Amino acid sequence: MAASATTPPRGTGRKGPGAARSAFTLLLALTLLAVALLASVTHGSLPTSFRAVWDVLRGQGDPYITTVVESRYPRTLLGLVAGASLAVAGTLMQGVTRNPLAEPGLLGVTAGASASIVTASAYLGVSGQLATLWWSLPGALLAGLVVYAVGTRGGGSGTVRLVLAGAVLSAILMAYVQAVTLSRPQVFDGYRYWVVGSLGGRGFDVLWAVLPLAGGALAVALLLGGALNTVALGDDPAAALGAKPARTKAVGLLAATVLGAAATAAVGPVAFVGLAVPHVVRALVGADFRRQLVFSALLGPALLLCADVVGRLVLRPQELMVGVVTAFVGAPALLVAVRRMKRTA
């Protein structure tokens, strides 16, 4: 019996045109990521040639150029971690909820982080980049867990309830955030910088703070690929094949929550990466979640870093926040992916 268009492909161990295309696509994705990493180190408010960066990497660069280049390392690595986290979280959520518009904000992660930051700033006098991160992280995690608990209450997949719970909680928390920031201008001054989303101004301390959470959740997500392929067949067929759909969905949503929380806490609520990248990846590699998760972890950072580089160049020597640029960079990619999906449907 021929597989349907929605049935995830299963590997057969034989090499063929599919394997060759996957290898080429993987090489292309790795190349794109390498170019994005290099561009993030070489481009900024001060133009830096590749030769100058190469001299710095060899320890033979001019002291001033060395300082400039080394200051770009933290934001580059943070973009790598945050981009992978957001893209993989979006892939997990779209797979688990079967909602093509799902992204980390659907679980209330962004609203939870925002509410936590505003509360800490308004009532506890918290300020500073690292302090903001430590306060936003538990807020994002708590909001995601509340949405999951409410959305899956009573058993079942709870997909519709999950979406509604996320929308309701986000609306409540964002109304609270607006009320506090409008009544306390000093809180709004600090909050407005974080809420746009930016890789700039972060040091290695922020990276080390979120790396264990993001790294662990990424590892769990990559291990879920095969189980998600089975769950995509439907709960009853998956259970008949010996899978445990409820557990797979719970672990997937928990990993997505942790990934979204870590990225949001570190760089702010960067939009579109978690929504656009999964669509682009599906158009490139098909419905197999094992491939989707790997390619999302590669293309997510590439998109985020490219957007960050564009933000540094368009207003040089000033800088445009990466959260603003991602919409302009991601929207065309999403439109192309959707058009391609319609042609192949």
Q: What is the CATH number of the domain that holds 161?
A: 1.10.3470.10
Q: Pick the range with the lowest mean pLDDT from 94-98, 233-237, 306-310.
A: 233-237
The whole domain housing 321 covers 72-344
pLDDT band at 304 (very low <50, low <70, confident <90, very high): very high
pLDDT at 7 over 60: no
Q: Residue 196 and residue 271: Cα distance in Å, rounded?
A: 9
Q: Which position has the higher pLDDT, 238 or 84?
A: 84
Q: Give residue 341's pLDDT.
A: 58
pLDDT band at 162 (very low <50, low <70, confident <90, very high): confident
17 lies in some domain: no
Rounded percentage of the chain residues whose pLDDT exceeds 90: 28
11 lies in some domain: no
Q: Residue 8 and residue 326: Cα distance in Å, rounded?
A: 29
289 lies in some domain: yes
Q: Give residue 11's pLDDT.
A: 43
Q: How many residues does the chain have?
A: 345
237 lies in some domain: yes
Q: Which position has the higher pLDDT, 55 or 92?
A: 92
265 lies in some domain: yes
Q: Give residue 65's pLDDT.
A: 82
Centroid of chain to Cα 9: 25
81 lies in some domain: yes
Q: What is the mean pLDDT of residues 94-102?
A: 82
Q: Give residue 333's pLDDT.
A: 63
The domain tally of the chain equals: 1
pLDDT at 336 over 50: yes
303 lies in some domain: yes
5 lies in some domain: no
